[in-house]
Amino acid sequence: MNKQIEKKTEGIITISDYKSPRVKIIYWVMVAFLVICSLTALVPIVWSFLSGFKELDEFYNVNPTIFPKSISFGKITDILRDLKFGRALINSMIQFGCSWFGNVIVGGIAGYTISRLKPRGSKLLFKLMLWTMMMPHTLSMVPMFMTWTDFPIIHINFQNTWIPFLIGSFCSIFNILLFKNYFDSIPNSYIESAKLDGCTNIGIFTRIIMPLSKPIISTITVFVFTSSWNDFMGPFLYLKKGSMATVALQLYNTTKNWTEPKQLLAAFIVLIPTIILFMFCSKQIMGNSMNVGVKE
């Protein structure tokens, strides 16, 4: 145990502090705190996942059990069929693609421009973006819907297209901010030396910035995936054709008349892709890539 502590290189407490028993106690209290919180996070999830397999009377039993009487995988295939999972999955992926393009490509370029190229007026734009980010959205839903169903001037209804998802993702200011701060933190010396080697702006971006940006890109990719995968409001408003329904929308549409255990099970089946992606990227996300300070 103590060997692990000796490897500790970061944080407020350092190895030298561990000589004092008081600090040792503090450390273990902290670990206990983490264990308790992790359990609080994990137990309801595991419990409700298992509950998804329960029958209705078992689910509402006066003496709740943890394990269902039987776990039948037939229930899972039934749910996948009822959700028309295959087609919904493709639609969700298209939505994610639109969202990813806007957030990572457009957002990344915007972040880079503001952070490194700094054209005249970009500081003002950045300030404006900060204000916009902090602006409440109490008013947005209905007017935005009006805009997309009868686009000003050209009067086109963009329902049943992916345009609202694509354009809507161009202005995820929070992610642009993450990009900007990340690019800010790349030492100038890298770029100076590349310039000396005769790199153009584009060269710098593709050869220096992009490879260095893997952590921030994967972080934002996971954020974007989680939010577009769980986004039900957007598809609910703009994708009215049954053949365009995404997983989240199908979940909402189909499960309304299901019993609670079946709803839970469906919700957790749908969760699996997110968890897989998260497991793959967790190292990147948890790294030092998400500084949200707003210094200009």
Partner 1 sequence: MKKFKRLVCAVLAAGLAVGATGCVGTKVGQNDGRDADGNLHISIGGSPTERTKGNEKSYDMFMENKAKFEAENPGVIVDADGWSFDLENYMTKAEGGDLPTMYHTSPTEINNIVNNGYAADITDLVKKYGYDEMLNNEKYGKLYMRDGKYYGIVKDGSLYDMGIAYNVDLFKQAGLIDENGLPKFPQTWEELAETAKTIKDKTGKTGFAIASKSGQGGWHFMNIMWAYGADFMEQDENGKWKAIFASDEGVAALQYVKDLKWKYDVLQDELLADIQVGGRLLATNDCAMIITQRSMLDTYIEKYGLKASNVAMSRIPAGPAGRFSQVGANIWMFSGTDEQNELCLKWLDMIGEGPTVSEASKERMATNNEIKQEKGQIVGVRSANLWLNDERVNAEEEAMAPYRTVDSKFFDDYTNGEGVEYKFEPERCVQQLYAALDNAIQQVLLDENADCAAVLKQVQDDFQANFLDKEV
Partner 2 sequence: MKSSNNINNLRIKRVKGKLTIVKNESMMWLLLLPTVFAIILCQWNPVVRGVFTSFFRTKGFSTVEFVGLSNYKNVLHDTMFLKTLINTFSYVIWSLIIGILPPLALAIAINETVHFKEGFKILLYLPAVAPGLAVSIIWMNMYSPASGGMLNSILQIFNLPTSQWLLNEKLVIPLIVISMTWKGYATTMLLYLSSLQSLSQDLYEAAIIDGAGLWKRITKITIPHIAPTLLLMIVNQIIGVFQVFDQPLVMTDGGPNNASLTLGLTSYKMAFSYMQVDRSMALGTVSFLILLGATLFYFKMQKKLEA
Tell me which residues touch partner 1 (CB under 8 A). 56-57, 60, 81-82, 124-125, 127-128, 143, 145-147, 149-150, 152-153, 157, 159, 236-237, 240, 242, 257-259
267 binds partner 2 (CB under 8 A): yes
In the complex, the smallest distance separating the C-beta of residue 155 from partner 1, rounded to whole angstroms, is 8
* Binding residues for partner 2 restricted to 24-43, rule: CB under 8 A: 26-27, 30-31, 33-34, 37-38, 40-42
In the complex, the smallest distance separating the C-beta of residue 13 from partner 2, rounded to whole angstroms, is 6
* Binding residues for partner 2 restricted to 199-218, rule: CB under 8 A: none
- Choose the one of partner 1, partner 2, none that binds residue 275, judging by a C-beta under 5 to 8 angstroms depending on kind: partner 2
In the complex, the smallest distance separating the C-beta of residue 209 from partner 2, rounded to whole angstroms, is 13
* Binding residues for partner 2 restricted to 166-205, rule: CB under 8 A: 167-171, 173, 176, 185
Report the alpha-carbon distance of residue 96 to residue 89 in Å, rounded: 10
From 25, 56, 60, 190, residue interacting with partner 2 (rule: CB under 8 A): 60
In the complex, the smallest distance separating the C-beta of residue 181 from partner 2, rounded to whole angstroms, is 9
Report CA torsion sign: 111, 290, 215, 273: negative
Whichever of 157 and 185 has its CB closer to partner 2, that residue is 185
- Choose the one of partner 2, partner 1, none that binds residue 240, judging by a C-beta under 5 to 8 angstroms depending on kind: partner 1
